[in-house]
Amino acid sequence: MEISVCLATYNGAKYVDLQLESILRQLGADDEVIVLDDCSKDNTLDVVTAINDRRIKIYKNDVNKGHVFSFG
């Protein structure tokens, strides 16, 4: 069974690498982490991209929707 983990981000550059490293350690080779960025104003997406793991899929909101509506 493949596992998908969804992670919403917003200005989370300070901790997102630690969060993703923890999640990725618990996943298998065929699993994925979906990162949905809600228009971060910091370098959150740069940090996520730098991890360079094929299991990470990055999506970006066009406008800030807030955490409740980001996955809607």
**pLDDT band at residue 19 using 50, 70 and 90 as cut-offs:** very high
Q: How far apart are CA 47 and CA 24, in angstroms?
A: 15
Please tell me the pTM assigned to this model.
Answer: 0.91
Q: What number is the average pLDDT over the span 45-49?
A: 98
Q: How far apart are CA 33 and CA 53, in angstroms?
A: 10
Q: What number is the average pLDDT over the span 7-34?
A: 97
Given a cut of 80, is residue 67 above it in pLDDT? Answer: no
pLDDT of residue 48: 98
Between 49 and 1, the more confident residue is: 49
